[in-house]
Amino acid sequence: MAYTDSLNDFAGTLSAGRLLGLDLGSKTLGLALSDTDATIATPFETYPRGKFGHDADALCDLIDLHEIKGLVCGLPLNMDASSGTRVQATRAYVRNLSHHNRFALPILLWDERLSSVAVERTLLEADVSRRRRAQVIDKMAAAFILQGALDALNK
């Protein structure tokens, strides 16, 4: 299925239900789930990345299990909104995922600028240890990304 940067295009292809948030890192996938009303994002898990096919199958299993209706993937734009190598890598990953034989969801690429910074600051303010922050930051960033998209969708 197609992927887009346009919230309106994404909203036009969605059916009611849960969304999955994805923070794509070089070593991990941060995952978050929305509630069934698609209003609240919750951190779900941090998944270690491996070969693309294995990761895609694991995502598809999760999508089937939780009856996910759409995917929101963080797009790591530079602060000046330009695209760098991380944006190219994210677009390539999403393009490959959209062509995977088991994947049939609309995908929204959502600006994730400062998401990790905001999450890191929140965890520091909560006095979370460095080790624990490393364990949860990716799934919390995915929830931050997903919540931003949910808020925009529900305006």
38-63 pLDDT, tens digit each = 999 999 999 999 999 999 999 999 99
86-123 pLDDT, tens digit each = 899 999 999 999 999 889 999 999 998 777 777 778 87
Q: Using 50, 70 and 90 to split pLDDT, how confident is the model at 129?
A: confident
Q: d(Cα 132, Cα 114) in Å, to the nearest integer? A: 20
User: Phi and psi dihedrals of 44, rounded to 5?
Assistant: -115, -65
130-144 pLDDT, tens digit each = 887 777 788 999 999
- What domain range is 55 assigned to? 3-153
We report the CATH number of the domain holding residue 72 as 3.30.420.140
Domain count, the chain: 1
Q: Using 50, 70 and 90 to split pLDDT, how confident is the model at 1?
A: low
- pTM score: 0.90
